[in-house]
Copies of this chain bind each other. A is one copy, B any other.
Amino acid sequence: MAALSLGRRSASTLATDLLRYMIPRHYHRHLQTSTQTPAKVTDFAFAFDIDGVLLRSSNPLPRAHKTLSYLQKQRIPFILLTNGGGKSETERAEELSQCLKVLLDVSMFVQSHTPFTELVDEYKDKRILVTGGDGDKCRRVAENYGFTNVLTPADLITAFPALWPFASPQNYESYARPIPNRRLSDREYNPRSNDNTIKIDAVFIFNDPRDWALDTQIILDLLLSQSGHLGSLSPKNGNTSLPNNGYQQDGQPPLYFSNPDLLWASAYHLPRLGQGGYKAAFEGVWKAVTGGAKLEKSVFGKPYQGTFAFAEKRLQSHRHALIGSGRSKIGTEGLKRVYMVGDNPESDILGANDYQSASGSTWQSILVRSGVYSGGEPAHKPKVVVEDVWDAVQWGLEKEGWS
């Protein structure tokens, strides 16, 4: 479960490239207007998961405001690193600022799909399928990132209702769009009996899919197709003389997941299935249909190295800004230690434990009981288990000899 899976890019390239797309727009506005001017900037920092650490189902957890306010007052750098998503970073940062009554800049906010910005150049002139999230919010996030030709399963089922006989097209009416920009490549392939010659160049799961059945059928079709031509079927499928028995050997679109979390803490008292649940369902279907072929895919989000590398660069920028806006130069020697506070052993704890920093910082994992973790031996061992985010920060500060 812990394998690094960042597809075609190395983790270090990813982190560097990501920064190009994430230009902080209102960076540190709140620091410059702050009247607080504490004495120093620390060489340690915190990274917080959001759901189960600061919020539970959109409601602030008891000591979340107190914790973040304290850190801001003390000029201790922190970042929010979530496997959540489904909205733009700006929208989410504003909501969270309001909810927690702490002013949070968009640059302090890394969502599961933020790393997809790195792939904009690669797919700039290509057509991608985006799924997950409410309505077509994720399509709009993708367009905001710079993708120019974005389809959703809703568009496809509206254009080709026979694709999935059990769909309810009226559920998609309000946001389905006509297929735009038919291209030369759309006409190159001549499928047997219909006109859905749409070529898809990549599949991005931005957020938890809502209609698992429709999404599974469409993504399956694309992964079994010739070069992503919807309605085609690769003759290589099942050819045992080819690698992976011929599956995904015929120019099919790459498949990107943004978030591997199997479970997450919602308003319900038991953990609910997350995007990792959908991934497991898709893998079950893939196994049955292919007779056990490997599913080639790229998975972003915690616990993967690239996401942590990106988060670390953000923390470094944030820390430099804190130094620049303060009166003291103490701490310019660099970021040494990061405390990752999370509720999910599979993403937060594993990710922090395994992370190899290119700049030499060490990450320590702190597991809280306020979210999805419900006691017992966690699947991945944190440095410490504490009650909530306040206790987590107190533990970190004690380790730092902070008074």
Hey, which bits of chain A sit against chain B, CB under 8 A? 57, 162-166, 168, 171, 191-194, 208-213, 216-217, 220-221, 231, 233, 262-263, 266-270, 272-273, 276-278, 280-285, 287-289
Output the least CB separation between A237 and chain B (Å).
Answer: 11
CA distance A221 to B277 in the complex (A): 13
A273 to B282, CA, bound (A): 12
Determine the distance from Cα of A248 to Cα of B57 in the docked complex, in whole angstroms. 29
9 additional A-B residue pairs with CB within 8 Å, beyond A211-B213, A213-B273, A281-B282: A57-B165, A164-B272, A165-B272, A168-B171, A193-B269, A216-B277, A217-B273, A277-B288, A283-B284
Q: How far is the CB of A193 from chain B (nearest CB, A)?
A: 4
Residues of B within 8 A of A268 (CB): 162-163, 165, 194
A162-B266 in contact (CB<8A): yes
> A273–B283 Cα gap in the complex (Å)?
14
State the number of copies, please. Answer: 2
B217 touches A269 (CB 8 A): no
Q: A165 — nearest CB in chain B belongs to which residue?
A: B266
Q: How far is the CA of A220 from the CA of B277 in the complex (A)?
A: 11
Give A166's nearest chain B residue, CB to CB. B210
Q: Which 3 A-B pairs have the closest CB atoms?
A: A284-B284, A280-B288, A281-B281
Q: Is the CB of B216 within 8 A of A281?
A: yes
- In the complex, the answer to whether A209 meets B213 with C-beta atoms within 8 Å is yes
Q: Is the CB of A277 within 8 A of B266?
A: no
A268 to B282, CA, bound (A): 21
Is A191's CB under 8 angstroms from B269's CB? yes
- CA–CA, A209 to B285, complex, Å? 14
26 A-B pairs with CB atoms under 8 Å apart are A57-B165, A162-B267, A162-B268, A163-B268, A165-B268, A168-B171, A171-B171, A191-B269, A192-B269, A194-B269, A212-B212, A212-B213, A213-B273, A217-B273, A231-B269, A233-B270, A262-B288, A262-B289, A263-B289, A273-B285, A277-B289, A280-B287, A280-B289, A281-B285, A283-B284, A284-B284
Q: Could you say which residues of chain B place their CB within 8 Å of the CB of A171? A: 168, 171
Which of A194, A278, A285 has the most C-beta atoms of chain B within 10 angstroms of its own C-beta?
A285
Task: Choose one: B162, B263, B285; the contact of A280 (CB below 8 Å).
Answer: B285
Shortest A172–chain B CB gap in Å is 11
In the bound assembly, the distance between CA atoms of A49 and B221 in angstroms comes to: 26
CB of A304, distance to nearest CB on chain B (Å): 17
Query: Are A273 and B220 in contact (CB-based, < 8 A)?
Result: yes
Which residue of B168, B217, B262 contacts A272 across the interface (Cβ within 8 Å)?
A: B217
Which residue of chain B has the shortest Cβ distance to A170 in the bound complex?
B171
* Complexed CA–CA distance, A12 and B334 (Å): 76
Question: Measured between alpha carbons, how far is A213 from B269 in the docked complex, in Å?
Answer: 18
Residue of B nearest to A289 (CB): B262
Partner of A270, one of B231, B263, B277, B280: B231
In angstroms, how far is the closest chain B Cβ from the Cβ of A336?
36
Q: In the complex, A283 Cα to B273 Cα: how many Å?
A: 14
A166–B208 CB distance below 8 A: yes
Residues of B within 8 A of A276 (CB): 288
A313 CB to nearest B CB, Å: 31
CB closest residue in chain B, given A269: B193
Report the Cα distance A231→B171, complex, angstroms. 29
User: Using Cβ atoms and an 8 Å threshold, which residues of chain B touch A194?
Assistant: 268-269
Taking the closest CB of chain B, its distance from the CB of A104, in whole angstroms, is 23
In the complex, are the beta carbons of B285 and A285 less than 8 A apart?
no
Contact call A281/B212, Cβ cutoff below 8 A = yes
